[in-house]
Structure 1
Amino acid sequence: MENPQRNSPLVRDLTRAFSHFNRHNVFLKKNLKETLTFFREIRQNHSNACSSTPAALDTGQLSCISLPRHEEDYLQNVVGSAPYILILGQDCSARYQLLNCLLGERLLPLGSEVGGACGPEGGACRRRKLCFTHGRQTRLSLALPGQYELVHQLAAHCGRWDTVPCEDLEIQECEDPAQRLAELEVTLHHALLQEVKIMVLPCRGVQPVEEALEDCKRGILPIILYAVSKDALSAEQVSDLQKVRETLPFPVCFVRAPSGPSEPGALHRQLLSLELIGAAAGSCACGAPAQTQSILGESLERLQRVLGPFTRQLLQSQQVEAATLLNAVHCRYLDLFINQAFDMQRDLQITPRRLEYTREKEGELFSSLMAIANRIESNREICLTSVCVCSDIIMSSNGEPVSSKDIKMCISQIQDLIVVQLNQAVANKLTSSVDYLRESFILNAAYNVEVTFHSGSSVTRLFWEQIKQIIHRITWVNPPSVSAEWKRKVAQDAIESLSAAKLAKSICSQFRTRLNSSHEAFAASLRQLEEGHTGRLERTEDLWLRVRKDHAPRLARLSLESRSLRDILLHGKPKMGRELGRGQYGVVYLCDSWGGRHPCALKSVVPPDDKHWNDLALEFHYTRSLPKHNRLVNLHGSVIDHSYSGGSSIAVLLIMERLHRDLYTGLKAGLSLKERLQIALDVVEGIRFLHSQGLLHRDIKLKNVLLDRQNRAKITDLGFCKPEAMISGSIVGTPIHMAPELFTGKYDNSVDVYAFGILFWYLCSGSVKLPEAFEKCSSKDQLWTNVKKGSRPERLPTFDEECWQLMEACWNRDPSQRPLLGIVQPSLQSIMDRLCNNSDQKSGNLEDSN
C-alpha cells in the first residue's frame, strides 16, 4: 500500500510541524517538572525558617515559593496535551476526501464506493467515528473510546484491501449497543501518524457533535478541520459549529471539498457574516504570534498553503504562551532571590556596625551625663526661676486677702510646681542627649535616666520644712493678701534658707544612682541583643550562601532553558556564519539575521560542567534584565542547541548585536586622540550604568569593548557580571586588569574603576603593547604577585599630566581612595575639551606611541 503521495509537501509540512511541537513539548514538560521539584525543595528546606528568622529578612517568602494554582493547571494542561487532528464536515464524502488528502493516499472510499449518500442532516448515514493511529503494521479494529478493543470480525480481516471496506465503516443493524458506540481504529505505518492522531467524527444522525467531542475535552490539543462540500452551511451545521466552539475554544480551518460546481466567494461571505472566520493576523511587536484565527481554504489542491501555516501558528502559540508564562515565573522568583541576597548581605554588614556604633555612643552619653552631674549645683537657680514662674497660679481676682485654707492650697501648689520644674529641667537635658538612641531601630530597651524627687527624699522634706517655718513666723492677725510678691517672697526665703551644698549633693546622688542603673541595664540589654543577633546572623549567612550557591543558579538555569525555548519557537535556530573570534569561554560567529534583526553576532558556549552552566545562566539573566543602553551591547536572545557537534554536547547560543570591531583591533589600526578619549567616556558611561543597576562587570578590558563604525564604544561580554550581593569571592577577570583586592575575594564595584584605569593607560598610549612592568612577568602568578606588591604601568613621555593623575587615582591600591565614576566622567570630559578643541595646536601633548 506504499504510495508516493505519502511524501507530499503537505504531509512533510504537517509532519515537520507536529514533530517540532512534540520535541519542544518534551523540553517544556521537563522544565516544568524540574521547576515544581525545585519549588517543593525550597519550601521544605525553609519551612522552619519563618519562625527562626526575623521578619526583616522576610525569609518566609522562601518557604512560600510556588506556582499559583491557575498557572500550574494551565501549564500542566499544555504539556500534557497530545496533538489531534479532528475532521468534521458537511457529509462523509467531504470528510473522507480531506482525510485522504492529509495522508496522501486514497485510504477511505469516495463517490459511489461510499455507498448511500448522507441525508440533509445526516439522518441516513450510519458510518462510525474513525481514529487513525500509528503502528508498524496496517490493521483495523473496533474499540470503545478510551477503553479497550472489541473482539469483532471485520471485512478487512478477510483479505487484502486498498481502501477501508464500506462494511467496516458502517454500523450494522444487528450489532449490540457496545459495538454501535465503538469507533473504528485504523493503524498505519505513516510518518504523519507518528506525530499526531487523526479522528474523523461521524454525522450528527449517528452521534450528536457534543457527544462525539466529549472525549476531546481533556488532554488533547485539537487542530479542527471542517470539510465543506456545498456553497453554504445549513442552520443545523451552523448550530453544530457553535457547539464545537463552546466545547473546544480553538480556531477552525474550513476546507472546500466540493462535489460539484460551486459559486466562488459565497461560502467565504457566509462564514464572515457569521463571524466563523476572521481577518488574517500577523505577529505582535514583541515577536509573539498573534492569536490564531479561523480561516477558509478554497481548495484541496492548495491546502498546504493554508493548513501548514495554520497548524504551525496554532501549535506555536500554545507553546510560546506556556514558555513565556513559565519564564516569567522563573524571572519573578529569581529576582526575589537576588533581592533577598542584597538584604541578607546588608544585614550581615550593617548589624554588627550598628551594635558597635550604639555601644560607642552610649559610652559617650554616659560620660557626658556624669559631667552634668558634676555641675548640678546650678540647679539652685532653676528652683528659684521655677517658683517665679508659678506666681500667677493662685491669685484672687480682686487682690483681696484669702482664708487660711486658700493659703494652704497655695503652699501645696507651690510645692508641686517646684518639684515638676526641677524634674523637667533635668529631664530636658537628658532627653536632648538620648533622643538619637531612642530612635535607633536596634534598641529594645529604653535608656531611663530621668530624675524624680519623691516626697520622702531628704531634699524635699528639708525644703518643705523651711516653707512651713517661714509661714509659721508670719503673724496671722490678719491673713495676708495672696499676691505675686507674697508667693515670691515665701519661695525665695525657703530656697535661700536651704544649703546649696546639701541640695546639690542630694540631687547629684540621686542622679548618679539613676544614671548608673540605666547604664548597667543598657549594657545588659545590648549584650542580650548581641547574643540574639549572633545566632541570627549565622543563620542568615548560611541562607545567603545557599541562595548564592544553589537557589539562584539552579533557577537561573531553568530560566535560561524556558527563555531559550520561547526564542527558538518564535525565531527558530540561528544559522552560523564564519568565525569572528574566540575567547576563553566561547566562539563568536557571524549570523546574518535572526528574529528580524541583522546583522547579528552569535556566541556559542559549551559549558563543561554545572558551575559554568550556572554562571552562564546568571549572566544571561542579568544581561536580559538590564534596560537597553547605548553603551552596552544588546542581547537579542538565546537558543539551546541540543544537536551541537552532532549531538555529542549541548551548546548555548547567545544572539547579540554585531559591531564593527573590538578596541584591541581598533588601537592596532590606529585611532585619533579625540576618538580614544571619546571611547574612554563611553566606557565610563557604560560602567556607571551597570553600577546603577547594582552590577559589577569584573572584566573590563580591550577585547570586551566593541566599536561601531563611528568608533563609539559599547561594553560586551557580561560573563563575570554579577550583583555585589551575589559575588561568592571567586577570583575572576583578566590578570592585567585585575585589582589587588580581587585576590582576597572581598571587593566591591571599585574593581571596575581599577580596570578602567588600566584600559585608560592603553587608550592614552594609543597602542596595545603591554606595559613594561607587566611584560617582564614570565607567568600569571608572577604578574599577580607584582600587582599585589604595587606594580603598575609606567608613565610614558607623551602622557598628559591630568591623564596620568587620573590613571593613578583609578588604580590606587586602596579601593576607598579610588575616584567615583561620577567624578571620573566630568574629569574626562574636561580633558577632552582641553586637548581636542584646538587639536592642531595641542594634540602634541598626547601623541601615538606606535
Structure 2
Amino acid sequence: MSVLLLVRVSRCRPEVDIVVAPCQGFQSAEVTLGEYVNHFLPVITFAISEAELSTLDVNELQEIKEKFSLPVFFFKVPNLGAELISPQNAENEKSSLYRQLLDLGYLSTNHCSCGAPSSDAKAQSMLVEQSDKIRLLSTFSRQVLQQRLVDAATVLNLVHCRCLDIFINQAFDMQRDLQITPKRLEYTRKKENELYESLMLIANRKQEEMKDMIIETLNNMKEELLEDAANMEFKDIIVPENGEPISSRDVKCCIKQIQELIISRLNQAVANKLINSVDYLRESFVGTLERCLKSLEKSQQDVTVHITSNYLKQILNAAYNVEITFHSGSTVSRMLWEQIKQIIQRITWVSPPAITTEWKRKVAQDAIESLSASRLAKSICSQFRTRLYISHDAFAASLRQLEAGHSGRLEKTEDLWLKVRKDHAPRLARLSLESRSLQDVLLHGKPKLGRELGRGQYGVVYLCNAWGGHFPCALKSVVPPDEKHWNDLALEFHYMRSLPKHERLVDLHGSVIDYGYGGGSSIAVLLIMEQLHRDLYTGLKAELTLEIRLQIALDVVEGIRFLHSQGLVHRDIKLKNVLLDKNSRAKITDLGFCKPEAMMSGSIVGTPIHMAPELFTGKYDNSVDVYAFGILFWYICSGQVKLPEAFERCASKDHLWNNVRRGVRPERLRIFDEECWQLMEACWDGDPSQRPLLGIVQPTLQNIMDRLCGSNSAPLNKGLDDST
C-alpha cells in the first residue's frame, strides 16, 4: 500500500494532504500518483506488510520508478501479534526486503543495513523495518522537500545565467556593430573613390595607346577580315551564280552584313585588350567592395535600403565590368556605322554590281581603310569617362542613402546597448546571485564567520573554517549600500563563477545572502573563496627575494592574460588584489571592477596610482590592465610598498590624475635593471596602442628572470634586498 503526503504551498501557509492509494486490484499507486504529481510536491510512503515484496508490488514500484523517479519512504508494518518494536537485524545482516529494493534501484550501497541513507546523501529512498524508526519519516520528508527546493533553485539559476550570457553576447554584437559599421561605410566610400580615380586615369591616359592598339589590331586582322569577307555567305539574299547584278536594296544589305562582320570582329579584339588594362582594378577593388556592401546589407533591417544596396551592386557591375558593354559592340559599332555610311556614299555605279568575291573583298578593304583609329579611340575613352562619372555619382548618392538608414539604426542600437549594460544585465545578474545563493545555502548551510582577516572599501574578509567541502576558506562579506553596488557585486559574482578554474585566479566556492547580517536588518552577500596566505603588499613588506618577486610578476601576467582570453578586463590590478599562497605563488582576486569590454560603460574605476590616463576619457580597452601591471611591476622591482615620489608629492587624487594625464610616471630607482625599466616604461606608455601585448610581456619577463636569477642570483638578490 502506498500513501502520498502531498504538500500544497500557498502564500498564506503550507498545507498537507494525505492520499491513500486504492487497492491494487482497483487502481494502481502509479495511476493515483500521476493524478497529483504535477500539482503538488509528493512525499511517497510505501507500507509493506510481508517480509518480501510481492510480484504486484515489484511491478508497481518499477512503474513508479520509470515514470516519476521519485524517492520513496518504505515502512515495514509489524504482523499482528508481533512485538510492538521488532528486534533489529544484526549489524551486517540485510533483510530480503532490503535486497529487493536494492535490486530495484531504490536503495544504494551507501544506505546502512536498516535502509536509511548516509548523512551526506541527497534525497533518496529510505527503508524502515523497525516501528520505533517511523520518526525518520519527518527527516525523509524534509530531505525530499529540500531537494525539490534545490532542484528548483538550480533550474532557476541556469535560466538566469543563460539569459544573462545571452544579454552579454548581445552586448558584444551591438558594440561590434557600433564600431564596425561606420568603418565599413567609410571604407566603402574610400575604396570606390580610389577605384573611380584609377579608372578615370586609365581613360585619360589610354587614348593614344588605344589608337595604336586599334591600328595594330586592324593591321593584324586585315588579311583575315578580307578573306572572311570574300568567302562570306549572305543571309536572306540570293546571289546569282552566273554573276548577274542584283537590286540596289540587296547590295546595301550585302554591304551591311560585311560591315557587321568587321564590327563584331574588331569589337571583340579591342574590347579584350581594353578589359585587360582594368582587370586588375576590378579584382582588387570590386570584390572587396561587394563583400563590404553585403555586410552592410545584412545589418540593415529596412527593405528599401536592401533595394539600394542591390542597386549599388548593379552600379558596380555597370561601371566596372566593362567587358559587358564592349562585348555588345555598342561603342565601336556606332563609330564604324558612321564610317560605313561614308563608304556607301562614295561607292558609285551605273548599274547594280555583280556580287563577286572580288567585290566583297573590295567593299571590306574600303571599309577598313576608311576607319579613323584616332576618332575611334577618342570616342571610346570619352564614353568610358562619361559612364564612369554617371556610375560614380549614382554610387555616391546610393551610399548616402544607405548611410542615412544605418545612422538611424545605430542610434537605436546604442540606446539598446545602454539598456543592456545599465538595466537588463545587472537585474538578471542580481536574480542569478539570489538563485545561486539559495541553492548554496540549501545544500551547504550558512557559513560561520571566523576571525577578521582584512577589510576594504566595500567589505570585510573573515576566516571560515569549512564550507561546502572546502577548508579552510576566506569569506568576503559585502553590504551593498545602493542598487549600483548590488549590480556590480552581482556581475562580479557572475563573471567569477562563469570563469573556468585557473591556477592564477582565486577560486570562488559559492555565495550566501545573509538577510540578518550582524544581528540587524542589513543584507549582506557572503562570497566564500579559497583562503591564501597573504597579499602582495604584505609580502613585499616581508622582503621577498628578487626571484620570488619576478615569479609573482609572471604569475600576475598569466592571470591577466587568462582574463583577457575570456573577454574580461580586470581594471583594478594592484598590490592588495594579488594574493600569495604558502609557496609565494600569486593569484589575482577581487573582480569587483572586472567586466567584458562590451559591458563597460566608460566609468572611471580603479585605484588612482594604477589607473591609465585614457580611463578619464571614458574610452578604453584591456590595455588599461597592461598599464596597471607596469605600475605594479615598479613595486615588484623596487621590493617596497612606498609610493613613488612622483605620486607621493601629489596633494590630492585630482592632482595625481592631472599629473598622470600630463605624462608623470614613477621615477627610476638606481637598483632597477635596464631591461626591467624598459618593460615598465613600455607598459605605462600614454598611448594605449604602443603598450606591449601581454603575449610579449610574458616571455620578456621570463628572459629577465632567467638572466637575473641564474646561478649568480644570490649576491644580486642580497644586494637588491639590502638596498630596499
**TM-score under structure 2 normalisation?**
0.80
Match of 2:179 among 327, 332, 349: 349
Paired letter, 2:194: E
- Equivalent positions of 1:607-686 (< 5 A) are 607-686=480-559
Return the match for 1:800 from 652, 673, 680: 673
Other-structure match for 2:713: 839
* CA RMSD after TM alignment: 3.9
Q: 2:688 pairs with 815, 829, 832, which one?
A: 815
| 2:104 paired with 1:275 | yes
1:720-759 equivalent positions in 2, closer than 5 A: 720-759=593-632
8 A contact 2:332–2:376 mirrored in 1: no
Distance 1:461 1:685, change over 3 A: same
In 1, the alpha carbon distance for the partners of 2:277 and 2:139 equals 84
1:254 — aligned with what?
Answer: 74
Distance of 1:133 and 1:341 partners within structure 2: 42
Structure 1, unaligned runs of 5 or more? 1-86, 90-128, 135-145, 147-193, 283-287
Deviation at 1:679, TM superposition (A): 0.9
1:544-555 correspondence runs (5 A): 544-555=417-428
Q: How far did residue 555 of structure 1 move? A: 0.8
Q: 1:237 to 1:682 in 2, by over 3 A?
A: closer
Q: 1:304-344, CA deviations, whole angstroms, 9 ceiling, x for partnerless residues?
A: 5x546543442233222222222111111211111111111
Equivalent-residue separation in structure 2 for 1:753 and 1:724 (angstroms): 15
Structure 1 pair 494/677, CA: closer, same or farther in 2 (3 Å)?
farther
**Mean alpha-carbon deviation: is it higher for 551-560 or for 448-457?**
448-457
Of 560, 572, 576, which aligns to 1:703? 576
CA distance in 1, matches of 2:7, 2:70: 21
CA drift of 1:199 comes to 2.6
- 2:42 corresponds to: 222
Evaluate the alpha carbon distance shift between residue 250 and residue 423 of structure 1 in structure 2; reply closer, same or farther with a 3 A threshold: same
Retained in 1: the 8 A contact 2:336–2:371?
A: no
Give the match for residue 163 of structure 2: 333
1:790 to 663, 668, 680: 663
- Paired residue for 1:380? 211
**In 2: Cα distance, 1:215 partner to 1:788 partner:** 72
The correspondence for 1:413, drawn from 235, 248, 261, is 261
Task: Give how far 1:564 is off.
Answer: 1.4
| Aligned equivalent of 2:291, options 439, 458, 463 | 439
Matching of residue 461 in structure 1 with residue 347 in structure 2: no
Map 1:471-620 → 2, pairs under 5 A:
479=357, 497-620=370-493
Distance 1:660 1:831 in 2: 27
Letter in 1 for 2:126: I
CA distance in 2, matches of 1:789, 1:509: 58
* Residue pair 2:479, 2:522 contacting (<8 A) in 1 also: yes
Given that 2:102 and 2:108 are in contact with CA atoms closer than 8 Å, whether structure 1 keeps it comes out as no
After TM superposition, give the deviation of residue 232 of structure 1 in Å.
Answer: 3.9
Alpha-carbon offset, residue 392 of structure 1: 11
Distance in 1 (alpha carbons) for counterparts of 2:229 and 2:475: 104
Deviation at residue 131 of structure 1 after TM alignment: 11
Counterpart in 1 of 2:247? none
Point out where structure 2 has 5 or more consecutive residues left out of the alignment.
112-118, 236-253, 298-308
Structure 2 Cα separation of the partners of residues 239 and 810 of structure 1 = 72
Query: Are the structure 2 counterparts of residues 417 and 803 from structure 1 closer, same or farther at C-alpha, using a change threshold of 3 Å?
Result: same
Residues 513 and 242 of structure 1: CA distance in aligned 2, closer, same or farther (over 3 Å): closer
Written as runs of structure 1 = structure 2, the 5 A alignment for 1:310-329 is 310-329=140-159
1:197 maps to 16
The secondary structure found in structure 1 opposite 2:292 is coil
Q: Is the 8 A contact 2:683 2:691 kept in 1?
A: yes
- Percent sequence identity over matched residues? 59
Per-residue CA deviation, residues 363-384 of structure 1 (Å, 9 max, x unaligned), is 2222222211211221134335
Correspondence 1:719 to 2:538: no
CA contact (8 A) 1:466 1:498 kept: no
Aligned mates of 1:593, 1:132 — CA distance in 2: 34
Shift of 1:606: 1.0
8 A contact 2:441–2:512 mirrored in 1: yes
Q: 1:232 to 1:612 in 2, by over 3 A?
A: same
Q: Whole-Å Cα distance in 2 between the matches of residues 427 and 247 of structure 1?
A: 74
Partner of 1:137: none
- CA change 1:657–1:417 in 2 (3 A) is farther
Q: Distance in 2 between matches of 1:512 and 1:400?
A: 34
Distance in 2 (alpha carbons) for counterparts of 1:522 and 1:130: 76
**Are 2:231 and 1:402 equivalent residues in the alignment?**
yes
Q: Deviations along 1:31-72, whole A, 9 cap, x unmatched? A: xxxxxxxxxxxxxxxxxxxxxxxxxxxxxxxxxxxxxxxxxx
How far did 1:426 drift? 3.2
Deviation for aligned residue 1:589: 1.0
Distance 1:276 1:333, change over 3 A: closer
Contact kept? 1:800, 1:846, Cα under 8 Å: no
Q: Tell me, what secondary structure is at the counterpart of 1:797? A: coil
Per the alignment, do residues 671 and 465 of structure 1 end up closer, same or farther by CA in structure 2, a change over 3 Å counting?
farther
- For the residues of structure 1 that align with 2:358 and 2:584, how far apart are their CA atoms? 101
Report how far residue 621 of structure 1 moved.
1.0
Q: Which amino acid aligns with 1:624?
A: R
Question: Residues of 1 paired with 2:230 and 2:337: CA distance?
Answer: 28
How far does residue 424 in structure 1 lie from its aligned partner after superposition? Answer: 3.9
Alpha-carbon offset, residue 501 of structure 1 = 3.2
- CA gap of 1:647–1:281, structure 2 versus 1, over 3 A, is farther
CA drift of 1:553 comes to 0.6
Equivalent residue number for residue 305 of structure 2 = none
Which residue in the other structure is 1:366 paired with?
196
- The separation in 2 between residues aligned to 1:273 and 1:758, in whole angstroms, is 64
Please give the alpha-carbon distance, in whole angstroms, between the structure 1 residues aligned to 2:226 and 2:442: 94
CA–CA distance in 2 between the matches of 1:199 and 1:429?
A: 92
1:615 deviates by: 0.8
How far apart, in 2, do the equivalents of 1:389 and 1:316 lie? 96
How far residue 646 of structure 1 moved from its aligned partner, in angstroms, is 2.1
In structure 2, how many angstroms separate the alpha carbons of the residues matched to 1:132 and 1:818?
Answer: 63
Provide the rounded CA distance (Å) in 2 between the counterparts of 1:661 and 1:257: 60
Give the CA deviation at 1:480.
5.7
Q: Please state how far the C-alpha of 1:495 moved relative to its aligned partner.
A: 5.9
SS at match of 2:131: coil
Structure 1 partner of 2:304: none
Q: 2:125 is matched by which residue type in structure 1?
A: S
Contact 1:798 1:847 in 2 (8 A): no
Aligned partners of 1:217 and 1:247 also within 8 Å? no
Change over 3 Å in CA distance of 1:650–1:504 after alignment to 2: same
